[in-house]
Structure 1
Amino acid sequence: LEKHPELEPEKRQKYESQIDVLKRICAEYERDDQGTTENAATELTKDRFETISTLMVELQSYGYPPEELVGITPPGWSVDPTSGLPAIDDVHKASESCNVM
């Protein structure tokens, strides 16, 4: 963000919100639960899962991160200009570019 002072205030705020949520997700993963009992650890795991899931939904609400961070959109995909989220244009090409499938 510091390298792009020309960003529109709305985009800047969106990207700053993404950074904030990502920091909170990292902090949740890095939280030290040493010394907890097995029952307490199970509860902490449930709480952590809920917290991270909620944060992921919040992160998605801010749209797709800037191309400088995530790279170019793979073949078969595009970014919806309205929501800023990824969209499949060509299922065949998208499946070929997916490492999981």
Structure 2
Amino acid sequence: MGEDVLHAAAREAAEEVGVLIDPADLDHVHTVHVAGSGPDSRIGLLFTARQWIGEPTNREPDKGWSLGWFACPAPRHGPVPGCRDRGLPHGTRFGWPTSTSGPTLA
């Protein structure tokens, strides 16, 4: 069986920005359907971390990304600008079971 989305997000955070996150400290806040930005459509799952260990650094400078801290406005409701709304409930767990290992697909 493969890794669940919470463990994958924590692993990606370690690989891309050098921080350690316990998957139990991640909250799913948005799901986005990305279409038209490349050859394939994809689904993006967005999470917030309640805490982490380490100072975020750009561990993939060849991808052209930079890191910064910005004031956080009030949470948005509705689609993310530039993404198509597919009628999915925004910022929900979509009925996934809650567990310490995170949501899994049946």
TM-score by length of 1: 0.22
Structure scoring higher RCO (CA < 8 A, sep ≥ 6) equals 2
Q: Between Structure 1 and Structure 2, which shows a larger proportion of strand residues?
A: 2
TM-score by length of 2: 0.21
Q: Between Structure 1 and Structure 2, which shows a larger proportion of helix residues?
A: 1
